[in-house]
Structure 1
Amino acid sequence: MKYDQLIIEEKEFLIIEKLLNLNKIAESITAKSHILKLQDELRNATKVVPENEMPKDVVRLNSIVTVSSQDSAWEKTFTLVVPSDSNIAESKISLLMPMGTAVLGYAKEDAILWDFPGGLKELKVVNVVQVAKVTK
């Protein structure tokens, strides 16, 4: 792991905590297990930093992320978003989905061992691109 622990921007950390609290009633056992794992990582393995200290190569909300499977030629690029912006057809993955919870807070070149619905997989963060936030 490049930075020795997950890194989350402080405003996003608050958003994520609220989302996790709202999703405690998730019906799917898979969703519950990933939410619990993310909550555990946020409590025990995360460094929360202000916006100006956030490394550019760390996966955060609205990042465009490319990951690859370490055991196959599979590669996927998607944008990590809040659940309300999720849209598989547009490659927008919710941070509360298994792939979203797997990559949040990791940096480019990090290897991630994560228990997906199909079993344990090792992923590599190939690239991270930060997207300018649109203000409404």
Structure 2
Amino acid sequence: MSKPKIVVGRTDHNKLTRLANGLLDKRPEVAEELLAELERASVLDDQDVPPQTVQMDSTVEYRTDGSSAARSVTLVYPGDADIAEGRISILTPIGTALLGLSVGQAIDFIANDGRKLVLSVLSISHAPHRALSPAVG
């Protein structure tokens, strides 16, 4: 399966690029996977990202092949991750795979246990709140 087109907001793209570059020495395989996804993404101004697109802090319902059950997770930065609360880090294989996908898209990814799976986005129930105007202050 070829990789689907993905969209990432400029703010997330900049923050995630810095995060990945900072990990190149310590966790090169994770950093390189995230950088590859960021490199192929269409980068849009935050307010122009379609609402049904997975961005940081989006809550996503997805299914992987071989599983009849859908899962719901929120995509977060590593410091906010808590698997028991359904908050998964962008630095996990699923987190990186989800970034930038839209409802109905699917992507191949390699799970932590080495299996190649297909992840399909079913819904995005809580898109991130994007500022429509610059903050005053």
Distance 1:58 1:131 in 2: 10
After TM superposition, what 4+ stretches of structure 1 lie above 4 angstroms from structure 2?
none
Scaled by the length of structure 1, the TM-score of the pair is 0.84
1:111·1:122 contact (CA, 8 Å) conserved in 2?
yes
Q: Counterpart in 2 of 1:25?
A: 25
Scaled by the length of structure 2, the TM-score of the pair is 0.84
1:35·1:101 contact (CA, 8 Å) conserved in 2?
no
The within-5 A match list for 1:48-127 is 48-118=43-113, 119-127=115-123
Distance 2:111 2:35 in 1: 16
Secondary structure at the aligned position of 1:127 is classed as strand
Q: Decide whether aligned partners of structure 1 residues 60 and 23 sit closer, same or farther in structure 2, where only a CA change above 3 A counts.
A: same
Q: Counterpart in 2 of 1:130?
A: 127
**Cα-to-partner distance string for 1:102-134 (whole Å, 9 max, x where unaligned):** 100111110111111231001110111214369
Deviation of 1:37 after TM superposition, in Å, equals: 1.9
Q: Percent identity?
A: 25
Q: How many residues align?
A: 128
Q: Decide whether aligned partners of structure 1 residues 9 and 133 sit closer, same or farther in structure 2, where only a CA change above 3 A counts.
A: closer
Q: Structure 1: which amino acid aligns with 2:6?
A: L
Unpaired runs of 5+ in structure 2? none
When the two chains are superposed, the root-mean-square deviation of aligned CA atoms in Å is 2.1
Q: Structure 2: which amino acid aligns with 1:132?
A: H
2:103·2:122 contact (CA, 8 Å) conserved in 1?
yes
Q: Structure 1: which amino acid aligns with 2:33?
A: K
2:56·2:128 contact (CA, 8 Å) conserved in 1?
no
1:68·1:123 contact (CA, 8 Å) conserved in 2?
yes
Secondary structure at the aligned position of 1:33 is classed as helix
